[in-house]
Structures are given as structure tokens and as C-alpha cells.
Amino acid sequence: MKVLVSDNLSPVGVKVMEEAGLTVDVNTGLPPEELAKIIGNYDGLVIRSATKVTEELLQNATNLKVVGRAGIGLDNVDIPAASQKGIVVMNAPDGNATTTAEHAISMMLALSRNIPQATGSMKAGKWEKKKFMGREVTGKTLGIIGIGRIGSIAASRAQGLKMKTIAFDPHMVPEMAEKIGVELVDLEELAKRSDYITVHVPKTKETANLVSTEFFNNMKQDGMFIDCARGGVCDEKALYEALAAGQIGGAALDVFAEEPTTLENCPLLGLDNFICTPHLGASTSEAQENVALIIARQVSEFLNSGSVTNAVNVPSVSSDVLAQVGPYITLGEKLGSLHMQLSQGGVQEVNLEYSGELAELNTSPITVAFLKGLFTPILKDAVNYVNAPVVAKDRGIRVVESKTDRSGDFTNTLSIRVVSEGGENVLVGTVFGRNEPRLVRLNSFRLEALPTGPMLLVFNKNVPGAIGALGTTLGNDDVNISRMTVGHEEESNQNIILVCTDQLVSKELLKKVLDLDQVSAAQVLDLNGV
């Protein structure tokens, strides 16, 4: 078996693969056209962030069986295209968590003591001792946006510095936050109370420009902002305006909306109260050795024995089990993503009921797939088929499974009730034919919907013209409806309309939909990549 390493990888990873009997070629910095010419010779591909695994590249990958990312982010991999070709995509989601958290703390201390500015001053031949007065972090409050794995480590390190820690995370239940010594607050309160603020969330449609003008307006005038998570979570224009006006005390970024980043595309770099690093959050020798070892072992085990670990597009099950429950694994993951997007507040409990002939099969991979789908909208690449149950446990979510041979209207059904702080939702799904997942119930509404791609969920009055008004509103904004399913609730005389659209409905268009007289509520849903 041959493996190509196309990005810089610690030599320990190459050694592990060679010791496992694989032939390893290290060929980094290849232009896309050169990589496309040789990729057909390889069974495995190991990358970091530089190589772009596109659909076009995969068309030439006639022998490729696995792509291993030495790190967490998979923005540079076309996962649906890989899945379609049967190529397993793996990552190492926990390999650099400690390093990234420590980098955020380092940025906080550098901001507090003006270390980069003072270094630059001395190297310019100056001795400006009075100019760079700093401040202590002891007793100050650190606000953490996102209290997952990395955010929790950052909290622990800050507590070691005798800091108070508060956090915003709408998907974390208070009991679990309390266990790690963090007080949960809303985003506005976090901005107002924090002396320092650090971001630890992936970039999703919910977190894009999460930190913007209103947030900075609420911060303390001497407050300091740090982002070592993902570019685009912070609105860089709004941050520039806040820093330039002296509205906040300082900021430090390790990640940017556009990378590589220069003064030409990021005016922040010209401000004295701004410090930065070129995406170094995971760049320590320990972290790079760690992720190299992890991904090398995973790729070796897969190519030598078919063992799947930390895969984002295939569960760790035998081919026999996959043949029996494969379509329900897909269904479970889709229902999980829908549940998280519908939930209000942190998820507390999950109840999965398997009915009909499905109850007689090994359903544990379906439960795992559901949990992966549940966390994907909020954790993105940090969750996979292996660690999803651990994530649920760490967040204090109770997972209950039950089975019955009664299935009602369908041969097999998967019914899932999710209890969150804001209430509960029930979704019921089944599989039509051999592999077509369907959503057949949403709470008290019965329907037969194909859960796929961008969607719009509309609650409307059961009156003439409602569907026409919705179609006209979407059409006026050049949004095409590819599918539409209507569900009815007799008691309330309410309908739901689940619309599949060719593109994601914008916030502006959603507001127009909500302004329709016949519409009582509406929400954008997205199952792309699930």
C-alpha cells in the first residue's frame, strides 16, 4: 500500500506508517495540477491545511481509500465528494486542543503586558519603560465564547492564574459548566462583565460574525478580545472600528477571515493596540508530533486491517452491519442535525426508539450517528463517529435507547425525542425503498419529507393563498424550490411547510417570509454535508 504525504508532517508520523509496512512518499507543496497527475498511484493521502482535496482531484484518485488530516479542520476537504467515491476521511480532533488553549492564554498575557510592542520598541533602539505600563490578570474575569474541549482547557488555565471564568455557550447545560467552575451567561452579559474575552467556537452559519459591532459596544473600555479559533467568527471591520476609536483596550487574533493575512487585506495590522500571530494556535512541536502520530496510526490501521478511527464520513462498523443498517445510519445523522437546529438551549436528554424489524438489528451505530449529527451544527469537524458519545457524556446529556416490534404505519421507524432547556421536540424517520431517508413526523405534524440540503421550515395558518405567498416571496429573491412538503395539525388548524431550496435562505429573505400575514414562524435549516 502506498501513502502520499502532501503537506509538512512530523517525521514521527512518516516513521509510524513505514514501520506498519506502508510505502510513504513525502512530496509537499505540489501545485494542484501536479498533485492530480500522481494521486492515482496512492491508496492513502495524508494532509494538513495546505492541500485542497477537491472533487476534481478525487476524480483522478482511482486507488485512493483514505484521506487523513493531521489536525482538526476539514474545510479543505470535499467530504461529500469523498463519500460518494467511498473514500474514508479521518482527522485528529483532540490532538492540538491543549496547544490552542495555551496559545489563547499566551495572547492574553502578551496583551496585558504589551510584550510585542515593547519588544519592537527595544529592537528599534528605544527604552520606553513608562510607555508600556501593563496590568495583572489575577482577579480579573475571563469570558469564554464556547466552552467545549478547548474552551474548558482555557478556563482551567485561567483559573490557575486566579481569574474568574464565565462563558457563553447555548448548547451547554448549567450543571456541566458548574463542574468545571464556569458560570454560564448570555452573550451580552459576557461582553459587559469580562475584562478579557476569548473565542473557542468553530465557524458555522450561526457563529459567522457572531462577535460584531453590538458586542464591542457592550465591552468594557479597557476590555481585551482574543480569537484563536476560526477566522470569520469575529467581524474584523467592526473590531477595527472599536480599536481605532479606543472603544476597547486591545485585541489579539491568531486567525483571520482571509489567510494569508497582510496589511493590504487586513487594516487591523496597522493598529498599535492590536497584536497577532499567523495561525499558530496548533503550532507547537508537541502538538504537531501528536497529530502526526494519531493520523499515521489511523491511516496505517485502516489500510492494513480496515479498522476505522475518527472518521467523519463512515462509522466504525463491520461491512455486515453496515449493509443492514447503513441507510438508517444516514437517517440518524440527519435527524440529529435537525434536532440540534430545532432545539432551544442546551440539550439535556435524548430518547431513541427503534421500531419494527429495525429493533432486531444492531442499532448502536445508528445512535452514534445520531449523536454525531446532533453535535455537528455546533462543533463541526471536532465531532466524529468515534468521539460523539464522549461529547454527549462530557456535556451531561442522558442518552436512552428503547426497542419495540410495533412500528405503526411503516415497517421500520426511528423515533427520537430530544429534551432541551427550552422544551422538547420529536422527530420520526424511516427509510423508503432501499436507501431513501424520510422525515415522517415533526412533533404533532405528519409529513413525508426528504431531509437534505438547505431547507426552510414554515409554520403557517391553514388558509387559502399561504403556499402561493410563500412561493412568490422566495421566487422574487431568485430562490428556487426543489421540493415542498406540507404537514397538517387538525386541532390547531395549523400547517407546516418544509421547503427544500437550491440555496440557503438569507437572513433578509427570512425576515420577508416572517412578515407574511399567513406565516406564524419560520426557520432556516441546513443539512448540507450531512
Contacts of 251 (CB under 8 A, 6+ apart): 111, 224, 225, 226, 227, 239, 243, 268, 273, 274, 275
C-beta separation of 485 from 437 below 8 A: no
Q: Which uninterrupted H or E stretch holds 325? A: helix 319-342
Q: Kindly name the residue from 279, 395, 438, 441 that is annotated as catalytic.
A: 279
Who contacts 306 (Cβ-Cβ below 8 Å, separation ≥6)? Answer: none
Measured CA angle at 435 (ends 325, 359), to 5 deg = 35
Contacts of 339 (CB under 8 A, 6+ apart): 347, 373, 374, 416, 418, 425, 427
Q: Which of 240, 243, 233 is nearest to 202 (CA)?
A: 233
Rama region for 167: left / alpha / beta (φ>0; ψ in -120 to 50; rest):
beta
User: How many angstroms separate the CA atoms of 264 and 269, rounded?
Assistant: 9
The helix/strand/coil state of 431 is strand
Measured from the Cβ of residue 507, the count of other Cβ atoms closer than 10 Å reads 9
Please tell me which residue in 55, 241, 259, 357 is annotated as part of the active site.
Answer: 259
Cell numbers describing residue 328: 438508517
Active site residue: 69, 149, 193, 230, which one? 230
CB 74 within 8 A of CB 49: no
Query: What are the residue ranges of helices labelled H in 24-172?
Result: 32-38, 55-59, 79-84, 97-113, 115-123, 149-160
Strand order in the sheet with 23-26: 23-26, 2-5, 44-47, 66-69, 88-90
> Residues 162, 195: contact at Cβ < 8 Å?
no
For residue 421 the three cell numbers come to: 432547556
Residue closest to 75 by CA, chosen among 290, 300, 257, 320: 257
Round to whole Å and give the CA distance between 214 and 238: 9
10 Å CB burial of residue 357 (0-12, 13-18, 19+) is: exposed
C-alpha cell at 400: 436512552
259 is known as an active-site residue: yes
Catalytic residues: 230, 259, 279
